[in-house]
Structure formats: C-alpha cells, structure tokens
Structure 1
Amino acid sequence: MRPLTEDEMKSVFEKLSKYIGENVRLLVDRPDGNYCFRLHKDRVYYVSESIMRKATNVARKNLISLGTCIGKYTKSGKFHLQITALDLLAPYAKYKVWLKHGSEQSFLYGNHILKSGLGRITENTAQYQGVIMCSMNDTPLGFGVVAKSTADCRRADPGTIVAFHQTDIGEYLRSEDTLT
C-alpha cells in the first residue's frame, strides 16, 4: 500500500471528474474526516486516513484489501473505474440518466441504452459525457457515456443508441466464473 504518484493521482482525478465534475474535492475533505487514495496491487482504494494509519501495521504481502476499491490500473497504465465506486460517486454525480423499467434489465445484461428505454436525462448533458445510470426510483445501476447530447436525444429515433454501457451492478454475476 502506497500513496499515488502525481501522474496516477492525475489519471484518477480525471476519470472521477468525468462523472462528478468538481465534486471530487468533496470525496477527499469530508465532514466525517479526511479520506485518501492508496494503491495496492494495481488497485486504487478510497480509505479514511485513520484506517489507513492502522493498516500500516499489516505487512504488505498479508494485506488483501483496504477501504473501498474504486478502480484499477491496466497493464498499459490506464485507470478504469470499477462498479464498487458507484455508491461513492452516485450522490455527487452531475449528470444522470434514468432508465425505464423495461430497459433496466437490458442494461444490467451489458447492453447499450436505446432512446426507447430512456426515462429521463439531466438537462444540458453534453455528448460523450460520463453519466450515472439510475432506475426511475433513483437507484444507481452503473456507469455509462452519453452518445448524444440532451437536445439530440429529444430528436432521436426510438431505436437510436443514446448511452453507451460501461459497467453495471450485474457485472458480478456475469464475471463470476472468471473471478479468482
């Protein structure tokens, strides 16, 4: 477990700001204490400083996890958010897409969102903006990227893809046999 380097921190904050904008600073300076990001075995963890200090007593090879895993670095050095970050990011999200009940299951199976399955979308959402996908009762379901801006969604045909799937809460079940 070690602190992130300058470049690593920059890539993590860029990815987080794609979904929650300038609210990234609210993740670090919280009223219930300070939180930090730590790297352990190519995974980035979000952890309170008090727990992080206690974990320094555990040997690195014996440490399995620490705090909440928000993403991992690929072998090529890119940072990817994981679905475990959804509960942390959903309250701070600037842009959301609400799915109709019928298209929730399709999204949870890993499919993109069509205009016919779009319930609502946050006003002034730009094209290729990162969004949090929610059910109509505001339950966060996953991450996506908007394929069309809010204005373009209004004019789109019902069969047009309006949001690209990135990850969802059904990922655990689909990748159950590949987890080690």
Structure 2
Amino acid sequence: MRPLTDEETRLLFEKLSKYIGENIKILIDRPDGVYCFRLHRNRIYYISEKNMKMACNISREDLVSFGTCFGKMTKTSKFRLHITALDYLAPYAKHKIWLKPSAEQQFLYGHNVLKSGLARISENTLKYQGVIIYSMNDLPLGFGIAAKSADETRKADPLTVIAFHQADIGEYIRSEEHLT
C-alpha cells in the first residue's frame, strides 16, 4: 500500500471529474473525516485516514484489501473505474440518464443504452461525457459514456445508441463464474 504518484493521481482525478466534476473535493474532505486514495496491487482504494493507519500495521503480503476499491491501473497506465465506486459517485453525479423499466435488464446484461430505452437525460449532458445510469426509481445501475448530447438525443431515432456501457451492478453476477 502506497500513496499515488502524481501521474496516477492525475489519471484518477481526470476519470472521476468526467462523472462528478468539481465534487471530487467532497470525496476527500468529508464531515466524518479525511479520506484518501491508496494503491495496492494495481488497485486504487478509497479509505479514511484513520483506517489507513490501522491497515499500515499489516504486512503487504498479508493485506488483501482495505477500504473501497475505486478502480484499477491497467498495464498501459490507464485507470479503469470499477462498479464498487458507484455508491460514492452517484450522489455527486453531474450528468444522469434514467432508463425505462424495459431497458434496465438489457443494461444490466452489459448492453449500451438505446434511445428506445431512455426515459430522461440531464439537460446539459455533452457528447462523450461520463454519465451515471439510473432506474426510474432513482437506483444507480452503473456508469456510461454519453454517445450523443442531450440536444442530439431529441432528434435521434429509437435504435440510436445514447450511452456506451462502461460498468453496471450486474457485473457481480456475471463475473461469479470466473471466480476461482
């Protein structure tokens, strides 16, 4: 477990700012204490400083996990956001998409969001902006990248892709068969 380098921090904050904008500050300086990001075995964890100090007492070989895994640094030095970060990012999301009940299952199977399944979209959503995908009951379902802006969405036909799938809460079930 170690602090992030400047490059890793930049990659992490760039990815997070796609989804929550300037609200990154809220993640670090919280009312219940100061939180930080740490790297352990190519995974970036989000943890309170108090718990991080306790985790430092465990040897690196014995430490499996700590805090919440926000994502993974790939071998090509890119940051990939994991679905475990959804509960922390959803309350601060700048751009949101709500799905019709008939489209929720398709999204949870890993498919992109089509206009026919779109119920609502945030007004100021730009093309290629990070979006949080919600059900009509305001339950966060996953992450996506807007394929069309909010203005382009209004003119699009029903089979047009509105958001590219990035991660969803159905991944736990789909990845269960790959666990050893």
- TM-score bracket, normalised by the shorter chain, equals over 0.9
Q: Provide the rounded CA distance (Å) in 1 between the counterparts of 2:163 and 2:70.
A: 22
Q: Which stretches of structure 1, 4 residues or more, deviate above 2 A after TM superposition?
A: none
* Residue number in structure 2 paired with 1:37: 37
Cα shift at 1:175: 1.5
Cα shift at 1:62: 0.5
* Residue number in structure 2 paired with 1:148: 148
Q: Provide the rounded CA distance (Å) in 2 between the counterparts of 1:28 and 1:179.
A: 32
Residue pairs, 1:60-139, within 5 angstroms: 60-139=60-139
Specify the code of the residue in structure 2 equivalent to 1:161: V
Unaligned runs of 5+ in 2: none
Specify the code of the residue in structure 1 equivalent to 2:101: H
Q: Provide the rounded CA distance (Å) in 1 between the counterparts of 2:95 and 2:124.
A: 9
2:150 equivalent to 1:164? no
2:2 equivalent to 1:2? yes
Q: Provide the rounded CA distance (Å) in 1 between the counterparts of 2:167 and 2:56.
A: 32
Q: Provide the rounded CA distance (Å) in 2 between the counterparts of 1:8 and 1:173.
A: 30
Cα shift at 1:10: 0.5
Q: Percent identity?
A: 65
Unaligned runs of 5+ in 1: none
TM-score by length of structure 1 reads 0.98
Aligned-residue RMSD, C-alpha: 0.7
Q: Provide the rounded CA distance (Å) in 1 between the counterparts of 2:33 and 2:42.
A: 25
Cα shift at 1:179: 2.8
Specify the code of the residue in structure 2 equivalent to 1:11: L
Q: Provide the rounded CA distance (Å) in 2 between the counterparts of 1:65 and 1:81.
A: 16
Q: Deviations over 1:58-92 (max 9, x none)?
A: 11110010100000011111110000000000001
Specify the code of the residue in structure 2 equivalent to 1:109: Y
